[in-house]
Chain A
């Protein structure tokens, strides 16, 4: 970089000379942003976290957290976990293969920018329209279902498959998970130097040896980190699942949505505990992502 913004950090506008009043004036410059973040991001989340540890009268209790371990709620977390994990693992594996194919597969040059643009679109094509698209494809009257029945004599729904099921939801989530993986993992693949491959080949290493002993160990933190990000991405998603399955699939975001809409649990504070549980799960996987990404960046230097 020619103009390094980090160099500014070494002389922070001579605070020692100007004194405390200038310092507080400088803080005014970010005050609107901090106020906004406080009002519309931090306080609302904090108030839920506190509510999770209170009973209906406002007294401290661990009862709400304990109720999260009831069978019905635990099973909702478990299904959420399964759908998120399956779509994250599938998404990161397929996304990685697609990105590798486009970048290192020796394909025509136009493939890569096309894949990148399309990934930008598809990773944002989530929510309700996506569920419509998959209903038109794999629903009971969907194009693929009908084509398979009419021409391949294969009854997809006879196998127990349903777009409203675990597998159907996972397939649908992959539509935004795979492109997201392509977008995040591409910089890491670009970081693989051709010299490394040439060095491996000149020492008599096979292609498999290159991937197993050189490329994968270098890419590993990026792949694992991206998978965690994909996991969090799926775990918090509401709209796609809601439009697809209504409330027939019992996953946490939908349980929480139903709770907010109609108080199905008849326990407001249990709702706060549900929300806290979601933040803990997405928070942990994001923290893992950030930690692994910083490791990957350090490894590349």
Chain B
């Protein structure tokens, strides 16, 4: 009995592995075939030296970094304040942070285009800088569920009240309590939220495409529609970026202090 169930488990894992590795292997193999006379990294060379790749990847990286900074500045004080002073508001704030998982991204951006068009009260789609700002806000919105949950979990694991009272009794101001006491204590939670955000934002397509900004996602789509081998190379690069982000989360999660005794 035991051995048959173990056999079944091995079979399940084997089929799963096959399903998940085959597309990666196939993509990698295809990306090497650009030169007719054998395997080469030609497609990667072409992609990496394409000014379009450099510009859009740079743009999306910058967007991701700004998103992470604004997201942290928005979420950490809020989650901290909810924990310390307004626990009654926790259900409301949690509900709001889950909304971006409920409302599809395409609906949110459609709403932006209706609300902030160039003839509206706040014409954020009127010029490029303002649209960049709107795109960044849309990414902060998309990142809210991930950022809030990981930062809230980090704050729950430390004794926010005692830390705050200790800092207050030493005469610390609110900014220095947040910056010097709370931030360092939830650093690993912030970082894991940040890397997840990076993975989500870097290849995002819908928002950037509909707001008409030159991000990496629309570039991927363009290359996919017009080239043969470069898309595979780009897919491998994107997969490695995602993998790196997730790997870094694991590293920081492992280094996190064992502050909480789990039940």
Contacts and interface: CB of A to CB of B under 8 A. Distances in A.
Interface string B71-107: 0001101100111111111000100101111111111
A137 B23 contact: yes
B70 to A, nearest CB: 9
A241 to B, nearest CB: 11
A239 B26 contact: no
Contact of A127 (B6, B9, B26, B217): B217
Interface in A263-297: 271-272, 275, 278-279, 282-283, 286
Interface in A24-67: 26-27, 29-30, 32-34, 36-37, 39-48, 51
Contact of B26 (A105, A144, A278): A144
A272 B93 CA distance: 26
A5 B88 CA distance: 12
B39 interface: no
B69 interface: no
A150 interface: no
A239 B77 contact: no
Interface string A96-123: 0110111011110001000101101110
Interface string B37-59: 00000000000000000000000
A2 interface: yes
B85 A29 contact: yes
Contacts of B225: 246
Interface stretch (A152-160, A216-224, A254-262): A254-262
A13 B89 CA distance: 13
Given A33-B78, A97-B12, A121-B243, A239 B111 contact: no
A44 B74 contact: no
B217 A48 contact: no
A51 B6 contact: no
A212 interface: no
Nearest to B120: A47
A275 B110 contact: yes
B220 interface: yes
Nearest to B11: A101
B207 to A, nearest CB: 10
B126 interface: no
A19 B137 CA distance: 35
Contact of B82 (A30, A47, A130, A236): A30
A127 B203 contact: yes
A111 B13 CA distance: 9
Given A12-B87, A105-B5, A282 B243 contact: no
Interface stretch (B60-68, B183-191, B233-241): B233-241
B12 A29 contact: no
Contacts of A97: 12
A107 to B, nearest CB: 5
B12 A124 contact: no
Nearest to A146: B26
A30 B205 contact: no
Contact of A133 (B9, B23, B113, B144): B23
Interface in A151-208: 174-175, 178-179, 207
B104 A236 contact: yes
Interface string B7-49: 0111011001001101111110111000000000000000000
B260 A13 contact: no
Contact of A13 (B10, B78, B85): B85
Contact of B108 (A8, A44, A118, A141): A44
Nearest to B155: A5
Interface of B: 1-2, 5-6, 8-10, 12-13, 16, 19-20, 22-27, 29-31, 74-75, 77-78, 81-89, 93, 96, 98-115, 137-138, 140-141, 144, 155-161, 196, 199-200, 203-206, 210, 217, 220-221, 224-225, 231-232, 234-235, 238-239, 242-243, 245-247, 249-250, 260-263
Interface of A: 1-3, 5-6, 8-9, 12-13, 26-27, 29-30, 32-34, 36-37, 39-48, 51, 94, 97-98, 100-102, 104-107, 111, 115, 117-118, 120-122, 124-125, 127-137, 141-144, 174-175, 178-179, 207, 232, 235-239, 242-243, 246, 253, 256-257, 260-261, 271-272, 275, 278-279, 282-283, 286
Closest 3 CB pairs of A and B: A105-B9, A44-B111, A236-B104
